[in-house]
Amino acid sequence: MTRHPKLFIYDLDGILTDTAEFHYMAWKKLAEELGISFDYAFNEQLKGISRMDSLDRILALDPSSGGFTDEEKLKLATQKNENYLELIEEITPAHILPGIEAFLEANRKSDAKLALGSASKNAPAILEKLGLAGYFDYIVDAAKVKKGKPNPETFTVAADAFGIDYPDCVGIEDAAAGVEAINRAGMFSVGVGDRAYLSHADYLVAETSELDFDRVVRQFGKKKRRLLKEWKHDLEIDES
């Protein structure tokens, strides 16, 4: 049982950069055109989930807006994405969140691989705009998975691409659905954000500037040692 991670899987929005405001503005524009209003608090529910799931939650705010066919919903989701693409044209390396480049550098110098696990089909383009594409060995975006977060598929697909056991992986997320997906995959979860939403993370920091690569590796090792101790204890009970 290794005590050092073999793979780090990063979320995009809220970890590498904060495009949450762009998503919020894009969804809000679409919603207002449909006569639906929502606020930042509701927007928290949309973090980490797919475009179609986000649309369904927004439409559910107004029961009278029901009756859309799948084809109509697809057109609405496409319109939101067009709104979003216009907004993210502004993204540059200056939009990388504090502490992330140092963390990625430390990750690259270690033996652990790097993967991106994002619900966004625009992830590769955003990585290029940020100047971070060269750090990543593999990208899992919405086109590579059938089930979005909190289903663990985004993270298991990344691990499977390298043939790495799930317990040897670390996932870094800012969304409750993302942390749940990491946990369900049997990986070590690092949450970035408010404890009120992310208390289920194995390790939690308030913001990206607090992320420290060596500290995360140590916390990963502590969990490994605890699990090994529990396994040995259970084995002794079974043999007694």
**Which sequence positions are flagged as catalytic?**
11, 13
Q: Give which of 1, 46, 80, 3 is closest to 197, Cα–Cα.
A: 46
* CB distance 176 to 48 below 8 Å: yes
Q: Give the sheet arrangement for strand 188-192, strand by strand.
A: 138-140, 113-117, 7-10, 169-173, 188-192, 203-205
Query: Shortest CA distance to 104 belongs to which of 215, 212, 240, 225?
Result: 212
How many other C-beta atoms are found inside a 10 Å radius of the C-beta of residue 94? 9
Whether the CB-CB separation of 16 and 100 falls below 8 Å is answered with yes
DSSP conformational letter for 166: G
How many residues comprise the chain?
Answer: 240
Rounded-to-10 torsion of CA 211, 217, 221, 223: 30
Work out the number of other CB atoms within 10 angstroms of the CB of residue 196: 8
